[in-house]
């Protein structure tokens, strides 16, 4: 392939490598799918969470472990199925049809370096509500046996595989297609600075093209990055949670308050984000990042399948919170949500109308670029106080699982404290207690790492943009995320 001209390929040297460079991104690209499978098999509804043999690594047997985790009889081929793949693709196509057919708001994005602006069609909220209403109708009509819920639960691994394949295929498509970007094109196609290092695996991961778009018959033009960020994966997160609620009912004959609580609060989080769809145009994902494997896999696999681990766990080991526990979880959630929403609202008000009485008292630094950096109010407490609120909201997702871990015993075991399944089997914590927290609390730890990394990327970007003014700002607002600590 012919080398690109300097005009076509942004200079990468000023940006530097992220995520450990080529070796780090290679590890992530090929390691994350394996991690998803490890989570899916190691914490299972066959023998326990984690599987019993994993608690005795010195005596572990591969054949025994395969039996304990429910490894497919067909081996690796059993990880996928034409049926699950077909229905997954149908789900994507259905989402695309709603994108085209339902009422939408069309807006222009931020100004690009080429001088133009891209147009966006926003109706993710309408699409999500339309889909959820159909699911509600089906659930009211058929209860926990609604075919969508049973299909997801019975084909979980195969649906996971289908989405992994789609994520890889999509990342490959946009990578290859990015080499057709020409300078000064009327479509305002641009390359992303961070994804044009010249290293194949690094650029494949980061994404070479900034805002890849494709025109599909019947559907029309779709901005791939924006569409994938808020549609199939985010809604899929809710659908997976609902499927696990239904599975818990089919397994035990009741639904626990813990799984209902998590399902509701995560649905509110997703719907709130979808409702605020236009705000995505100011995020670093849209403005700076190319669309590559990082966003493709994150949007389509990581978010729905890793973020729903708590309800998946509770579908096999119910936990009862009671009113006291539910109230405590709610207070943590409300605190986090309030910090997140109020801080973002204050920032948006200050940006759009700094003379508004609600922000008239805010002090700020005016940079040489003309931007104003807030030094009081929420943003005087920490440079990313909204990240703290976002992270606090993650705790009520994990805490309802308690000191997680369980073992599934055969019928008639009659162990004290065990929870009986409708098929006669019993669930007890036993020696698995605490070990299941690796799976149910993973999101809290991962999200903290993500936010710290995102803060670092933003700090680097602002340092380049504002120069000495940014250093002055940091001398006033000393803490990054957690006041008094970090």
Give the pLDDT confidence score for residue 221 in this predicted structure. 92
Average confidence score pLDDT of the chain: 91
Stretch among 8-12, 292-296, 419-423, 460-464 having the lowest mean pLDDT: 8-12
Q: Judge contact between 315 and 247, C-beta under 8 A.
A: yes
Q: Residue 13 pLDDT > 50, yes or no?
A: no
Q: Residue 3 pLDDT > 70, yes or no?
A: no
Q: Residue 387 pLDDT > 60, yes or no?
A: yes
How far apart are the C-alpha atoms of 132 and 151, rounded to whole Å?
16
Q: SS3 string of the chain?
A: CCCCCCCCCCCCCCCCCCCCHHHHHHHHHHHHHHHHHHHHHHCCCCCEECCHHHHCHHHCCHHHHHHHHCCCCCHHHHHCCHHHHHHHHHHHHHHHHHHHHCCCEEEECCCCCCCCCCEEEECHHHHHHHHHHHHHHHHHHHHHHCHHHHHHHHCHHHHHHHHHHHHHHHHHHHHHHHHHCCCCCCCCCCECHHHCCCCHHHHHHHCCECCCEEEECCCEEEEHHHHHHHCHHHHHHHHHHHHHHHHHHHHHCCCCHHHHHHHHHHHHHHHHHHHCHHHHHHCHHHHCCCCCHHHHHHHHHHHHHHCCHHHHHHCCCCCCCHHHHHHHHHHHHHHHHHHHHHHHHHHHHHHHCCCCCCCCCCCEEECCCCCEEECCCHHHHCCCHHHHHHHHHHHHHHHHHCCCCEEEECCCCCCCCCEECCCCCEEECHHHCCCCHHHHCHHHHHHHHHHHHHHHHHHHHHHHHHCHHHHHHHHHCCCCCCCCCC
What tens digit of pLDDT does each residue of 60-103 get? 889 999 999 999 988 899 999 999 999 999 999 999 999 999 99
What tens digit of pLDDT does each residue of 70-79 get? 999 888 999 9
Give the pLDDT confidence score for residue 15 in this predicted structure. 52
Its pTM stands at 0.90
Band of the pLDDT at 319, cuts 50, 70, 90? very high
Stretch among 4-8, 371-375, 413-417 having the lowest mean pLDDT: 4-8
Q: Give the number of other Cβ atoms within 10 Å of residue 9's Cβ.
A: 18
What tens digit of pLDDT does each residue of 233-285 get? 999 999 999 999 999 999 999 999 999 999 999 999 899 889 988 888 877 78
Over residues 112-140, the mean pLDDT reads 92
Q: Which residue has the tokens 């494709």?
A: 214
What tens digit of pLDDT does each residue of 179-196 get? 999 888 888 889 998 889
Give the pLDDT confidence score for residue 350 in this predicted structure. 84
Q: Shortest CA distance to 106 belongs to which of 221, 241, 260? A: 221
Band of the pLDDT at 4, cuts 50, 70, 90? very low
Give the pLDDT confidence score for residue 303 in this predicted structure. 95
Q: Where are the domains of the chain?
A: 21-320+420-440, 321-404+451-486
Q: Give the number of other Cβ atoms within 10 Å of residue 479's Cβ.
A: 16
Give the pLDDT confidence score for residue 9 in this predicted structure. 47
Query: Which two three-digit tokens encode residue 226?
Result: 């924006």
How far apart are the C-alpha atoms of 359 and 452, rounded to whole Å?
27
Give the pLDDT confidence score for residue 17 in this predicted structure. 82
The 3-state DSSP class for residue 199 equals coil
Secondary structure (DSSP) of 307-318: TTHHHHHHTTS-
Q: Which residue has the tokens 């290092």?
A: 197
Enumerate the H helices of 43-178 as residue ranges.
62-69, 82-101, 124-142, 147-154, 156-177
Give the pLDDT confidence score for residue 331 in this predicted structure. 96
Residue percentage of the chain with pLDDT more than 90: 68
């Amino acid at each position: 392939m012919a080398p690109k001209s300097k005009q076509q390929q942004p200079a990468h040297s000023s940006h530097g490598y992220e995520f450990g460079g080529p070796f780090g991104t290679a590890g992530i690209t090929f390691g994350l799918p394996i991690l998803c499978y490890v989570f899916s098999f190691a914490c299972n509804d066959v023998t326990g969470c984690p599987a019993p043999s994993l608690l005795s690594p010195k005596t572990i047997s591969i054949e025994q472990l395969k039996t304990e985790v429910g490894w497919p009889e067909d081996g690796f081929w059993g990880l996928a199925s034409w049926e699950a793949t077909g229905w997954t693709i149908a789900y994507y196509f259905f989402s695309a049809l709603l994108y085209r057919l339902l009422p939408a708001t069309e807006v222009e994005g931020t100004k690009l370096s080429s001088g133009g602006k891209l147009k966006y069609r926003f109706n993710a909220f309408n699409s999500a509500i339309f889909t959820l209403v159909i699911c509600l109708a089906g659930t009211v009509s058929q209860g926990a046996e609604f075919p969508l819920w049973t299909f997801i639960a019975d084909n979980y691994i195969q649906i996971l595989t289908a989405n992994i394949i789609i994520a890889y295929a999509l990342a490959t498509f946009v990578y290859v297609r990015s080499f057709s970007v020409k300078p000064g094109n009327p479509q305002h196609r641009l390359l992303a600075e961070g994804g044009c290092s010249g290293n194949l695996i690094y650029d494949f991961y980061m994404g070479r093209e900034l805002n890849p778009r494709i025109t599909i018959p019947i559907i029309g033009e779709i901005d791939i990055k924006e569409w994938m960020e808020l549609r199939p994966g985010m809604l899929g997160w809710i659908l997976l949670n609902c499927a696990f609620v239904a599975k818990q009912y089919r397994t035990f004959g009741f639904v626990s308050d813990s799984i209902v609580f998590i399902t509701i609060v995560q649905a509110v989080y997703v719907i709130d984000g979808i409702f605020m769809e236009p705000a995505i145009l100011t995020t670093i994902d849209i403005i700076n990042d190319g669309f590559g494997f990082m966003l493709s896999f994150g949007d389509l696999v990581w978010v729905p399948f890793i973020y729903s681990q708590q309800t998946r766990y509770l579908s096999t080991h119910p936990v009862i919170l009671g009113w006291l526990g539910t109230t405590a979880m709610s207070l943590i959630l409300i605190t986090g949500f309030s910090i997140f929403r109020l801080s973002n609202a204050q920032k948006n008000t200050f940006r759009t109308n700094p003379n508004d009485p609600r922000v008239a008292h805010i002090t700020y630094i005016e940079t040489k670029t003309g931007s104003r950096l807030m030094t009081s109010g929420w943003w005087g407490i920490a440079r990313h106080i909204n990240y703290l609120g976002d992270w606090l909201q993650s705790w009520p997702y994990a805490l309802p699982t308690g000191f997680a871990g369980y073992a599934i015993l055969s019928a008639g075991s009659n162990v004290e404290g065990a929870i009986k399944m409708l098929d006669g089997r019993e669930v007890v914590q036993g020696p698995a207690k605490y070990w299941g927290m690796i799976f149910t609390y993973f999101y809290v730890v991962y999200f903290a790492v993500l936010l710290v990394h995102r803060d670092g990327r933003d700090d680097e970007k602002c340092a380049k943009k504002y120069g000495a003014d940014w250093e002055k700002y940091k001398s006033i607002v000393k803490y990054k995320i957690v006041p008094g600590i970090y």
